Amino acid sequence: MKIFFRENFIYVALCLVFVFFSITLRSDGFFTLNNILNVLVQSAPITIMAVFTSLVLAAREIDLSLGATIGLSSLIVASLLQQDVNFVLAAAITLGISSIVGAINGIFVTLVKLPSFLTTLAFTGVITGVARWLTDLRTLSVSDPHFTAIFGGGKFLRIPSLILWALLIVILGYIALNHSKFGAWVLAVGDNPLSSKSQGIRVGNIKLSVMVLSGFGAGLVGLLYAGRLESASYTMGASDTLTVIAATVIGGTSLFGGKASVPGVVAGSVLLGLLTNGLLLAGFSVTQQIIVQGIVLILALSVSSKSRENI
């Protein structure tokens, strides 16, 4: 029972929090379709980014520049759309650029052999600086209806497009991690890079690939934010990096590499979204919300860390 609880802590926690809020906040609008959809929509960008981050962490690397890349990506696509570039082309260019950002991070990590923590931290400044310079700190509006419908603002079969995007990335991420050679290599490299190398796995290529994917993921989230908020700013996504890492780690991905769980990551990000939603509906003051969220995060991280020790 103890082992089951530890192994599946995040799912148990998610269910408990959901049931708790459903009962205590039933007259406050919590348990309504609209509110549940809101939580899923608001969690979607974090979920998407967390799937990509789980690959990075699984490979024993980290990307602290993803928040900055999100902001830059939102500005690039907004700038292109304002110049009447076709929305598909604008999105493709943006994703290309964000992937290049990831590749640059990856090159410094794999070829120059700098720690990814320091590399991506340093690049955060560069990326933010470029984003600030791009529009001279201005926020850009995004009004292309096709773009906003597909990327973050619209619905398909009454399901918000953000949820559909998250579902797509989660499915692809799960398949990649659990049912592909690439996923197996990522986990092997994160678990023991030396042993992986001796078995013929190209460790450098794997690490470079996950960093490129992280950049791509941040670019995608930048597009989705631009579509959802119908605007773009260099500050967009700035505070998401730590939230994404927290969601990834409490979902069962190890900060030290070799272990990742896409379903766990989904549960982690939805849990964080539920907490934000529920505490606000419960009438907690902002200070109280922050304290409670912090306590829950510490508890979740502690249990998550304990479960890894016992493996």
Partner 1 sequence: MNTKRKLTGLAVLILTLTSITGTVQSGNAVPGSSAMVTKGPNGEAATACSTLKLTSAQAKSVRAGKFKAALLWHTSSDFVTAVNSGAASKLKRMGIKVVATGDAQFDTAKQKANVENAMAKKPSLILGLPFDGVAAASAYKSAVAAKTKLVFLSNVPSNYTYGKEYVTIVTDDLAQMGIKAADSLATAMGAKGEVGYIFHDAAYYVTNQRDQAFKARIESKYPNMKIVTEQGLTDPAKGQEIAQAMLVKYPAIGGIYVTWAQPAEGVLAALKAAGNRTTKIVTLDLSEPLAVDMVRNGNVASLTADAAYSLGECMAIAGAIGLVGGKVNPFLIAPALTVTASNIEEGWRLSLNRALPAIIKKELD
**Residues in touch with partner 1 (CB under 8 A):** 28-30, 32, 34-35, 38, 41-42, 45, 137-141, 153, 225, 228-231, 233, 235-240, 276-277, 280-281, 283, 285-287, 289
Confirm if 195 and 103 have CB atoms less than 8 A apart.
no
Distance between CA atoms of 259 and 253, rounded to whole angstroms?
A: 5
Residue 41 or 109 with smaller CB distance to partner 1 = 41
Rounded to 5°, angle at Cα 161 from 158 and 162: 130
Q: How far is the CB of 67 from partner 1 (least distance, A)?
A: 10
Rounded to 5°, angle at Cα 171 from 302 and 4: 35
- Give me the DSSP letters along 155-190: EETTEEHHHHHHHHHHHHHHHHHHSSHHHHHHHHHH
Q: How far is the CB of 225 from partner 1 (least distance, A)?
A: 6
Residue 38 or 178 with smaller CB distance to partner 1 = 38
Q: How far is the CB of 249 from partner 1 (least distance, A)?
A: 21
Residue 260 or 274 with smaller CB distance to partner 1 = 274
Residue 86 or 143 with smaller CB distance to partner 1 = 143
Q: How far is the CB of 231 from partner 1 (least distance, A)?
A: 4
Q: Kindly state the DSSP code that residue 138 receives in the 8-state scheme.
A: P
Residue 30 or 216 with smaller CB distance to partner 1 = 30
Q: How far is the CB of 199 from partner 1 (least distance, A)?
A: 43
Residue 91 or 236 with smaller CB distance to partner 1 = 236
- Residue bearing tokens 């794997």: 206
Confirm if 70 and 222 have CB atoms less than 8 A apart.
yes
Q: How far is the CB of 86 from partner 1 (least distance, A)?
A: 22
Smallest CA-to-CA distance from 185 within 60, 7, 47 is with: 60
- Give me the DSSP letters along 214-264: HHHHHHHHHHHHHHHHTEE-TTTTTTHHHHHHHHHHHTT--TTSS---HHH
Structure-block tokens of residue 7: 């192994």
